[in-house]
Every structure is written in C-alpha cells, then in structure tokens.
Structure 1
Amino acid sequence: MENNKIDLLIHNIGLLITMQEGDKPRTGSSMSGVGDLKNGAIAVQDGKIFAVGPEEEVRAQLAGMAITHELDAEGRLVTPGLVDPHTHLVHGGSRENELSLKLKGVSYLDILAQGGGILSTVQATRQATEEELFLKAKGSLDTMLLYGATTVEAKSGYGLTLADELKQLQVAQKLNESHPVDVVSTFMGAHAMPVEYKGREEEYVDVIIHEMLPEVKRRGLAEFCDVFCEHGVFTIEQSRRILSAAKELGFGIKIHADEIEPMGGAELAGELECISAEHLLAASNEGFAAMQRAGTVAVCLPATSFNLRAKNHARARTMIEVGVPVALSTDYNPGSSPTESMQIVMTLGCLNLGLTPEEVLTAMTINAAYAIGRADAVGSLEVGKQADIVVFNAYNLAYLPYHFGINHVNTVVKKGEVVVSAGCLCSQAFDSSAAGAAHAKAVR
C-alpha cells in the first residue's frame, strides 16, 4: 500500500545546499558547484528524502499527503550532514603532556621514537576496558554530532595486538549500532611498530597479514584497511604487502601517505587503486598524477598540520587543479589533532589550504562520502538518500569558516529524526535503538 504520509517537512530554508552528486567524486571546477537554491524545502519519509527543492515545488508534490511534523528553518542555511572520513575515534588516554615538547621544537617522529606519541596511546588503550573505551568514544561522537557530523570513519591502530585491535573495532561496532551517527570502521593494525617487535619488524608485518587481517575479516569488524606509510613506521614495501593482502581478502584499502617525508605513498595509493590517501603534505606531483589516474580521493587534514606547527600544508589547491578529488577531515586523535570539530577544519581548509567555502563543503560532504564508500547513501540531499541534514545558525555558506571557534549548528536530522535541536542533543534519539538501550542497561 502506498505511503501517503510525510514524516518531516523542513521548510522556510533561506539557502539550501543540495550537493547533488553525479556518479563520481567532485574534481576541478566541479568542487565549486554546490547546488544552492533560495527558499527551499525538504520532505522526509521513512528516514529518506522524498522531495527536495524550491518550497513551492515541494509543497505541490505533497498535495494531499499528511505531514506529521514540520520544522521551520527560519531562513537559515541548510546543508547535507557532514561526513568525517578520517578519525581515530576509539582510544584510551590523552597526550596533553606532549604540548610542551612540541613548543620546544621536538618533532612528531622524535616524540614517537622516545616512546611517546602513538605508542603512549597504545599503552593507554591496552590498559582500558572495552566499557571505558566505549564511554570515552561515545563522548567524542556526541560532540561530533553536535558539530554537524552525521557519518564518521573510525580507525583502530592503538592496540597493535590482535586482542586489542579487536577490542577497538568491537567498540566502534557497538557505537555504530547504538548511536545516531553512522560509524564506518577501518582496521589499522599497521599504525605503528609495537615496542615488543623492535628489531623484528617483518615478523609484525606477517602477524598483520596472516593473523590480524583474516580474523578481522572473519568477524566482519572492519570494511577498510589502512597503513601508516612513513619514515620510521612502515616502508613502501611493507605497506604494499599489507594493503595487497587486505585487498585480496576483500577490504577496501587506504593509506596514510607522505605526511612528513616524501616516501612515494601517493604513488603507491595510485598503483594499488586505494579508495583514499590521507595527509599528503609531502606528496609529489607524480603521486598526485597516480592518484588522479586511479580516482583515489585525497583526504586532507589541515587541523593536524596546524596542530603540529607544520611549515607546509597539503597542496590541496594543486590537487584540485590536476583533477584529484579532495576531501577534508578532522583526523580526530589524542596526539596530532585532538579536535572533534569539522567546523574548525572548515576555517583551516580556507586559510591554510586555500580552498573556497564551496570547495570546503564539497570536501566535507559528497567527496568525504566517496572516501569511505558511502556516496550512495549520504553526502548530498537527493531523493532516495538518507535524510542526514544540518540546519546552521547562519544565512550563507561563507559565514561558517569566517566566524570561527564556535558551533554554528542549530539542528541536526539523522535518517529523518531530529537528533540535535537548538544546539542540544535530543535524548530520545539515543534511546530509540534496541542496541543502544541494551548497552545503556549493561553499563549502568
């Protein structure tokens, strides 16, 4: 029987940005075409977009249909839900003690060599219980949602043993089941070399390939595999071995490439046809060309280069000019980018990467969705897609990166349900899923 009811109508939208996608990530000048229209409306049915466009046209489509709930946007800016395609959401501890080292000029790799950095977080994550990791990560996920992120990628990589990597991935899975935000999991056992394998690095690579990857796949705990290909971490050949093995098992593959030194990681991303390559501060023009040929999305992380006080930032402007699709992300993690705010990244994307507000939003919506294999469901406001929508306390797009350091979100709709209202979490949204209720009961 035909459903003759609309669950939610968002109307009186001053500026509606639809980001209608096409069939591939945006590149070049197309990153500036955001599909904006004035006086818009969005109709939602069964968690998906039923109609979107000028309000007059949408209301004409709804003639004769009952509307359960109407939301007046009061002339505000409305965009697709933001997609954060690179985070290290699940981890133990924090690393504020490293701030003084950075201020004294100690480099990221030097801190890591001294047993700090990632290895410090590994120790804290191994010591944390699954419940402790869940509650900590849930707090961060709540903040991400409050700032407009409705889909988030989460990498493991702070366990570096099979049991501890599985622990991280199980937490991410439970969050995906119990939290309004969609969590897309990436296995990253190749995030650092464990101290217990010092001098036996190839043995650890074998453990990843022959023990960790098959077990993660068997349990269905991750969709992607990522490797930190960097001097002093994993070599090009080690990265190639791990990613090739992951690809054979059916994982999508990603790579932390050329963050600090030019290693040829971007070239490897193109060679292996990675879905995305991340960081890329030191990537070469040859690497960009390889990524362009492969259709690999460049995930740039301007909050990381800002926080590391890097002299240079990712050459996003060059990437766009040569036809590489660019996405932006927080890289939320306890060391190099301890922020959950995609809105801070908007500002840094403009000021440090030289992107326009339109390019920034493209990079945080449809291109970010492509970077995690979710463009069929999220990243744009189109009929049939998930109703993931943000209403901002702004009336034009440029205001978001211009007025920085605050949260502009007024309302967030996730799968058709209002989960943030007047800048506050709606508690009923967190109680609606059986998995969420069961877990809440278990941890009380």
Structure 2
Amino acid sequence: MEALDLWVRNTSEVLTVEGTHREPAEAALTPRPGAGIGVKDGRVAYVGPESGLPKGALTDATEVIDAEGGFVGPGFVDPHTHLVFAGERSAEFDLRNQGATYLEIAKAGGGIANTVSATRAASEEELATLALPRLERLLAQGVTTAEVKSGYGLNLADELKMLRAVRRLGALSPLELVPTLLCAHAVPPEYKERRAEYLDLCIHEILPAVAREGLARFCDVFTEDSAFTVEESRRLLNAGKALGLTPRLHADQLTACGASALAAEVGAASADHLEQVTDEGIRALAAANVTAVLVPTSTLFLRMRPYAPGRKLRDAGVNIALGSNVNPGSSMTENLALVLGLACLENGLSAAEAYWGATRGAAQCLGLQRQGRLAVGDAGDLVVFACRSYRHLPYHLGISHARVVVKGGRVVFRARMNHCP
C-alpha cells in the first residue's frame, strides 16, 4: 500500500454503511468497532485496525486525525434542497404564525411569487453568492453532497440562470452538487390564465435547453391539483425522460392526488414529501423501487399534520432518504441534525433508519454509487462526530455533532467542540 493521505484513528466505530434498505438498519450500517479509516487519492483505501496497516502506510506526509473516541461515518447526502434563491420571507412566516392563511398571503403578493420576483431580479453571480453561506451551513452539519433544484425562475432565461448558478456554486464550495430542473414548481403569475401554454413552454423550450447544456440530472415536478395535475406531470416527466433527465416528484404533500402511483409508473428516482400518501401509493412505491424522500422540517415549519408515514414506508420495503428541503417558504433551515430527530420523533424511524436515510439511502436516490458509504474504493467523504454513537444524533435534538468533515480526502470543516458523554 502506498502512503495514505489521511488517517483517522481512535474511533469508537466506523460505520461503513455497506448494507441494503431491505435488511435491519442496524446491520445495514455495518459498524466496525474501533476501526481506523484511511484515504488515498480521494478514495477510501483501508478500514480496519491500525495494527493491520501495511508498513509504509503512515508517513510524515499523512494527515492524522484523532477521533478521540467519536464515531466516523459517511458524509451526509442531502437529496432535496431549494437553496438557490433571492429574497427572504420572514414577514410571511410571522403573518402565518398570527393566523394568516397561505392563500391570503399569496393574494397579497407573497408566497412563491415573492421569491420568483426576487430571483428573476438577481444575476447568476448574485444567486451563487447568496447560496454560498447556505452551503457552508450544510457543510457544518456534515453534508458533503447535496441536490439543488431550480424552480424560482419559471421562464426559460431564469431557470437556466438558476441552474448555471448551481454549476457556479460547485466551483466555489467543496460540496458535490447534483442539479435538478424544477420548472414545474408553480404556474408563474403571467401564465395564470394560460397554464397549458406554460406547460408547453416547459416541455418544448425549457427541458430541451437544459438538456442541451447538461445543466441538470433530474427533472422534478410539484404534482398537486393546485400546482400540476397528474396528467400534466406525466407529460412533463415523460418529455424529460426522453431527453435523459430522470424523473422525480413532489408527491402527495397536501392531498392524496395519485402522485405516488405516477412516480411508480414513470420509474421516478424518488417521491418526496408524502405526508398524504395512501397505502396503495406506498405499495406502488415499493413495487417500483422508488425512494421516499422525507422532509420533516417542512411539515414542522408549515405546522401541518400528519407527518409522512416513515414507519409504514420502511415496513413496506421502501428505501427511505431524508432531506432538509431548505427553501425560503416552507423549510428555512439547513439543520440536518433536526431532520434526523424529527424523522425519529414524527416519521417513526429508528435512529439507524434515520442515519441510513441521510447517507446511503439518499445517495441511492440520487444515483450515486460511491457516496453515502465508506467501503474501500468509495469516495473519501466522511465525518468525525463528537459522540460515540449515531444514536446520539437524533437524541440530542437539533444539535450538530460534526467535528471534522472530510470531502475527497481533504479536511473541509473543523468545529470547536468537546465530545458528548
């Protein structure tokens, strides 16, 4: 073995997360008690006892991190964010908490129209600059890979601008970013009485332009009677598939509208939200191997009930992923630690299931074969936590315990903290 670039020692355990979602989650995390982990050329090169390292693996050039009894796991993967936008909506948040309804706020010019207006007015460079601190806060939580959606441009020029801002961000931040086109987020105000024309714009102009530039990996749609119907969503997603964009859906968030069945029908990578999913929808997702992306901070932020039935989904054999859904209207938070806690308290997951959902489950949803786990040959994306067990993460509610974050074998974040007992 050549000399390692980085070596992490004195761990309580290393979670390599080499199992599958179809086995008990504790086993799927594949813990390696007391192991160390070494990275070479950005990839995991060794997991095991330090005594088992070949001669010459550790040299003066090897960066050594003392985990001080903390556990090590893969970098978190956030599979659902809307973190590129301009403006903010704290006044609306305050009004909603005083009793104003979403419809009342929208009629007064607020809601998504507010963010669309601000985002259209911002340049590509400004959007990237505004989003960078949000990425930094995700990084401090232990996130090393994040999906990022468009959806606040809602015309050809501004949807392209948003996705180009995502590409620009990828050069500014150590996080790996996975872009998604969400032109079907809402019908823009200027098309309010011409929704069929807007759908045609998405299908015949925006989708082909994004595909030509290679600006997105996925095509997403907000499927809801108040947004895009099942039939409209089917047309758009199939058009995206024909151009090489994998389908994803905002599904069954507000009503049980049949979006989960559509996700199964079109072979979507994921159905996200699912607060109102039916038993029939759950069976369809399981049969089609569609990942359920749960975003419990959004349910909390909107003061909605019920939370998505994570326990039912998991028991039915559906792969679970967890996302922050960071966005200005329904989940203004980058706190993945809170997501883990709510996934256990409100979605009904165990600590191991929640941890799976923030690592390998999320990576699989995004089609990432080498992220979200730490087998030899995988990406050297890892987190040294300031606690001995993953079970502490959802228990210590809303508090990040990411002490050292490594991306591609390079330390990209260090926190000042003591270990938890």
Per the normalisation by structure 2, the TM-score is 0.95
Q: In structure 1, what is the Cα distance between the partners aligned to 2:236 and 2:191? A: 17
Correspondence 1:35 to 2:33: no
Q: Which residue matches 1:139?
A: 133
Query: Are the structure 2 counterparts of residues 230 and 109 from structure 1 closer, same or farther at C-alpha, using a change threshold of 3 Å?
Result: farther
Listed as ranges, the matches of 1:227-246 within 5 Å are 227-246=221-240
Correspondence 1:416 to 2:409: yes
Query: Are the structure 2 counterparts of residues 150 and 74 from structure 1 closer, same or farther at C-alpha, using a change threshold of 3 Å?
Result: same
Listed as ranges, the matches of 1:187-198 within 5 Å are 187-198=181-192
Report Cα offsets for 1:85-115 as digits up to 9, x if no partner: 0000100011111123322344445544554
Q: In structure 2, what is the Cα distance between the partners aligned to 1:262 and 1:422? A: 43
Contact 1:257 1:279 (8 Å CA) reproduced: yes
Structure 1 SS opposite 2:261: helix
Correspondence 1:281 to 2:279: no
Structure 1 SS opposite 2:32: strand
Q: Which residue matches 1:221?
A: 215
Report Cα offsets for 1:302-328 as digits up to 9, x if no partner: 000011111210001000111111111
Structure 2 SS opposite 1:13: coil
Q: Which residue matches 2:397?
A: 404
Report Cα offsets for 1:192-216 as digits up to 9, x if no partner: 1000001110100000000000000
Q: Which moved more, 1:396-405 or 1:325-334?
A: 396-405
Q: In structure 1, what is the Cα distance between the partners aligned to 2:104 and 2:322? A: 27
Q: CA deviation at 1:278?
A: 0.4
Give the counterpart letter for 1:356 in structure 2.
Answer: S
Structure 2 SS opposite 1:339: coil
Structure 2 SS opposite 1:126: helix
Give the counterpart letter for 2:402 in structure 1.
Answer: V
Correspondence 1:340 to 2:338: no
Report Cα offsets for 1:366-406 as digits up to 9, x if no partner: 010011111x1200011001010001111122211111233
Q: Which of 203, 227, 243 lines up with 1:209 in the alignment?
A: 203
* Cα RMSD after superposing both structures: 1.6
Q: Which of 64, 85, 99 lines up with 2:56 in the alignment?
A: 64
Q: Which residue matches 2:45?
A: 50
Q: In structure 2, what is the Cα distance between the partners aligned to 1:243 and 1:195? A: 22
Q: CA deviation at 1:63?
A: 2.2
Contact 1:172 1:185 (8 Å CA) reproduced: yes
- Structure 1 unpaired stretches of 5+: 425-444
Structure 1 SS opposite 2:34: strand
Q: In structure 2, what is the Cα distance between the partners aligned to 1:41 and 1:29? A: 24
Query: Are the structure 2 counterparts of residues 213 and 231 from structure 1 closer, same or farther at C-alpha, using a change threshold of 3 Å?
Result: same
Contact 2:80 2:146 (8 Å CA) reproduced: yes
Per the normalisation by structure 1, the TM-score is 0.90
Q: In structure 1, what is the Cα distance between the partners aligned to 2:26 and 2:178? A: 24
The alignment of Structure 1 onto Structure 2 pairs a total of residues equal to 415
Report Cα offsets for 1:117-157 as digits up to 9, x if no partner: 21111011001122211111011001100110000000000
Q: In structure 2, what is the Cα distance between the partners aligned to 1:115 and 1:273? A: 36
Correspondence 1:311 to 2:305: yes
Structure 2 SS opposite 1:6: coil
Contact 2:18 2:28 (8 Å CA) reproduced: no
Correspondence 1:292 to 2:286: yes
Q: In structure 2, what is the Cα distance between the partners aligned to 1:204 and 1:336? A: 24
Q: Which residue matches 2:384?
A: 391
Q: Which residue matches 1:381?
A: 374
Query: Are the structure 2 counterparts of residues 133 and 45 from structure 1 closer, same or farther at C-alpha, using a change threshold of 3 Å?
Result: same
Contact 1:28 1:321 (8 Å CA) reproduced: no
Correspondence 1:123 to 2:117: yes
Q: Which residue matches 2:245?
A: 251
Give the counterpart letter for 1:130 in structure 2.
Answer: E
Q: Which residue matches 1:432?
A: none
Q: In structure 1, what is the Cα distance between the partners aligned to 2:378 and 2:103? A: 42
Q: Which residue matches 2:2?
A: 4
Contact 2:272 2:292 (8 Å CA) reproduced: yes
Q: CA deviation at 1:27?
A: 3.6
- Structure 2 unpaired stretches of 5+: none
Q: Which moved more, 1:110-119 or 1:207-216?
A: 110-119
Q: Which residue matches 2:346?
A: 352
Q: Percent identity?
A: 43
